[in-house]
C-alpha cells in the first residue's frame, strides 16, 4: 500500500543567508522513475540537527528499488520523499544545541536514525534499533542540495579522504561490517555475489588478511573485476555448481572457513553453505526478494556452523575500522566507483547503474 509524505513546508529556521529552495530528486509518483524538482523547500534546521550541503551522493541498490518501484518500494516508500542516503558534503549550519560541529566541516552521516530509546540503542547495537528511520527511505534523503540529520548521526570526514570515497562510506560500511563480523584473518573465504558491496567485500577481505578469497556471480565482467581486486578464484555460478568441488579440493576437502553471502539469491545461498566447511561461519548481507526454501539440516544444523545476520553498520565501530582501512591505502576503490554525473543528468546516472555498465555511480551537486 502506498503512503505519502506531507508536502514540504518553507524553512522556518531564520537562516536567511541560505537559499530557501533547492534541487532535489523526489519520488513524486507511485511508479517508475524519480522527479527532478528545482525549487523544493530547503529542510528546516532543528535545535539538535546539522544542515549539510550535499556535494556528492551515491546511487545504491535501494535507490534502484525505489526508482523501479517494486513491491518492496511500493510498500515502504512514502510518495513525495527526497531519496538517497549515501553522500559527502559540508556543514552549512548547526542547531542551537549542537556544540560538536561547526559550519565548514566536511561530513558524511550514518543514514540509520534511531531515537536512542530501545534496548539495542542503549547497549551498543544501535544499528539494529527497533525504531530506526532511514534517510531517503523513511525521511527526506540526500539527493538534494541540502539535508538535515541529527547531530548524533554525523561522521566527520578525515582530511586525507576525498569526497568521492567518503560518499560511499555507507555501502563500504556494509562490506566492512560483514567481513569483520565473520572474521577473515588467515581464513579461506567465499563471497557469493559480487555486486557493489560484494566487490567492496573482496578488497576489504584482502586488506583484512584473508588467506584465500573465492567468489561466485553470474556476471563474467564482475567476476573479472573481482579477480583484479584480489580474488584468487572467481566462478560463474550460471555454469552449475561444479565450483563447490573445486573449492573443496582447494581447501583440503573441507570447504571454506567463511561464507560472505552478498547475493540474496536462493541458489547462491544454498551453494554457498554447501561450500562452507563444517563449523564455519556464514555472514549474510544479501536480501532475498521473498521467503526462501532452505535445507537447514544439511546446511546449518549438521554442519554446526555459525550464522550471522548483518544489518547496516555498527555505530560507530564500523566507521572507525573503515576509516583506518581506507587510510591504510590497501583498499582498491577506484575500480568500483566507476561513474560520476551532474545531478541534472540523474536519468543517465540511474540508467548507467541499472543496466550494469556502471558499478558505483555518483551524482555531483557542485
Q: What is the number of residues in the chain?
A: 366
Answer yes or no: 62 catalytic: yes
Cβ of residue 174: shortest distance to Zn ion, in angstroms?
Answer: 7
Question: Which residues, 6+ apart, have CB-to-CB distance to 347 below 8 Å?
Answer: 33
Answer yes or no: 114 catalytic: no
Q: Which is nearer to Zn ion, 169 or 214 (CB)?
A: 169
Q: Which is nearer to Zn ion, 222 or 277 (CB)?
A: 222
Cβ of residue 302: shortest distance to Zn ion, in angstroms?
Answer: 36
Residue in this structure with the C-alpha cell 553470474, named with its chain if needed: 218
> 2, 62, 158, 339: which is the annotated catalytic residue?
62
Residue in this structure with the C-alpha cell 548483518, named with its chain if needed: 310
> 2, 29, 65, 127: which is the annotated catalytic residue?
65
With vertex at residue 143, the alpha carbon angle to CA 21 and CA 59, rounded to the nearest 5 degrees, is: 170
Distance separating alpha carbons of residues 36 and 26, to the nearest angstrom: 6
Interacting residue ranges for Zn ion, rule: CB under 5 A: 60, 86, 170-171
- Comparing CA positions, the residue from 186, 353, 334, 171 lying closest to residue 262 is 171
End-to-end CA distance of the chain: 36
Cβ of residue 63: shortest distance to Zn ion, in angstroms?
Answer: 7
Q: Which residue is nearest to Zn ion (CB)?
A: 60
Exposure class string for 205-227: b at 16+ Cβ within 10 A, else e? bbbbebebbbbbbbbeebbebbb
Q: Which is nearer to Zn ion, 22 or 200 (CB)?
A: 200
Neighbouring CB atoms inside 10 A of 322's CB total 23
Cβ of residue 312: shortest distance to Zn ion, in angstroms?
Answer: 10
Cβ of residue 60: shortest distance to Zn ion, in angstroms?
Answer: 3
Q: Which is nearer to Zn ion, 86 or 110 (CB)?
A: 86
Q: Which is nearer to Zn ion, 42 or 112 (CB)?
A: 112
Q: Which residues are catalytic?
A: 62, 65
Amino acid at each position: 500500500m502506498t503512503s505519502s509524505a506531507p508536502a514540504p513546508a518553507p524553512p522556518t529556521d531564520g537562516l536567511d543567508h541560505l537559499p530557501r529552495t533547492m534541487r532535489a530528486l523526489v519520488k513524486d509518483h507511485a511508479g517508475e522513475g524519480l522527479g527532478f524538482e528545482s525549487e523544493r523547500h530547503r529542510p528546516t534546521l532543528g535545535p539538535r540537527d546539522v544542515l549539510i550541503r550535499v556535494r556528492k551522493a551515491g546511487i545504491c541498490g535501494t535507490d534502484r528499488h525505489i526508482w523501479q518501484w517494486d513491491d518492496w518500494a511500493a510498500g515502504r516508500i512514502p510518495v513525495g520523499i527526497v531519496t538517497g542516503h549515501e553522500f559527502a558534503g559540508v556543514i552549512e549550519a548547526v542547531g542551537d544545541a549542537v556544540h560538536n560541529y561547526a559550519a565548514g566541516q566536511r561530513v558524511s552521516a550514518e543514514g540509520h536514525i534511531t531515537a536512542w530509546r530501545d534496548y539495542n540503542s542503549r547497549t551498543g547495537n544501535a544499528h539494529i534499533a527497533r525504531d530506526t528511520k532511514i534517510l531517503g527511505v523513511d525521511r527526506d534523503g540526500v539527493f538534494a542540495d541540502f539535508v538535515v540529520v541529527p547531530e548524533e548521526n554525523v561522521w566527520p570526514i578525515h582530511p586525507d579522504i576525498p569526497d568521492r570515497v567518503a560518499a560511499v562510506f555507507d555501502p563500504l560500511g556494509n562490506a566492512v561490517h560483514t567481513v569483520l563480523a565473520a572474521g577473515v584473518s588467515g581464513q579461506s573465504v567465499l563471497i557469493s555475489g559480487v555486486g557493489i558491496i560484494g566487490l567492496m567485500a573482496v578488497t576489504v577481505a584482502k586488506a583484512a588478511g584473508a588467506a584465500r578469497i573465492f567468489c561466485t556471480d553470474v556476471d563474467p565482467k564482475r567476476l573479472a573485476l573481482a579477480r583484479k581486486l584480489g580474488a584468487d578464484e572467481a566462478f560463474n555460478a550460471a555454469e552449475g555448481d561444479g565450483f563447490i568441488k573445486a573449492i573443496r579440493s582447494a581447501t583440503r576437502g573441507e570447504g571454506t572457513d567463511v561464507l560472505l553471502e552478498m547475493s540474496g539469491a536462493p541458489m547462491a545461498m544454498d551453494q554457498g553453505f554447501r561450500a562452507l566447511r563444517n563449523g564455519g561461519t556464514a555472514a549474510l548481507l544479501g536480501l532475498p526478494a521473498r521467503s526462501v526454501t532452505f535445507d537447514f539440516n544439511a546446511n546449518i544444523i549438521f554442519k554446526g556452523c555459525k550464522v550471522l545476520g548483518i544489518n547496516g553498520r555498527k555505530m560507530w565501530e564500523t566507521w572507525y575500522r573503515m576509516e583506518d582501512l581506507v587510510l591504510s591505502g590497501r583498499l582498491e576503490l577506484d575500480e568500483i566507483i566507476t561513474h560520476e554525473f551532474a545531478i541534472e543528468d540523474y536519468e543517465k546516472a540511474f540508467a548507467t547503474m541499472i543496466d550494469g555498465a556502471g558499478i558505483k555511480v555518483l551524482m555531483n551537486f557542485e
